[in-house]
Amino acid sequence: MQRALPFGDAADAEAYWRDKEWKKWTVDVTAGPEKRPTYHATFYARARTAERAIVCVQANMVSRPPRGARFSARLAGPRELGCVPTGRREGGAA
């Protein structure tokens, strides 16, 4: 299986979380047909692995998704978490 190269937010997420033991994961839950899902929800979990993030989300969901729901996890990117670029300050404190 060939892995796609990450771009944009995904590339930033890979670079940021690479050396961290605990990572922030985005877990997407979908149900229904692949091309036109009838259910979609996004959750965030802090875990060491994608598999553990999925288990955490499944255990803590308030309402159960429809039968046959699919869970997929990916590293949360900075823009997805609401981070915004700031100007660099030269020379230390203002």
Mapping DSSP onto H, E and C, the string for the chain reads CCCCCCCCHHHHHHHHHCCCCCEEEEEEEEECCCCCCCEEEEEEEEECCHHHHHHHHHHHCCCCCCCCCEEEEEECCCCCCCCCCCCCCCCCCC
> What whole-number distance in Å separates Cα of residue 52 and Cα of residue 56?
6
The β-bridge relationship of strands 39-47 and 70-75 is: unpaired
Q: Is residue 51 part of a domain?
A: yes
Q: Is residue 61 part of a domain?
A: yes
pTM here is: 0.77
| Total domains, the chain | 1
pLDDT in tens, 5-63: 455 778 888 888 999 999 999 999 999 999 999 999 999 999 999 999 999 999 999 98
Q: Is residue 37 part of a domain?
A: yes
Q: Is residue 2 part of a domain?
A: no
Q: Is residue 3 part of a domain?
A: no
Domain range for 37 is 20-75
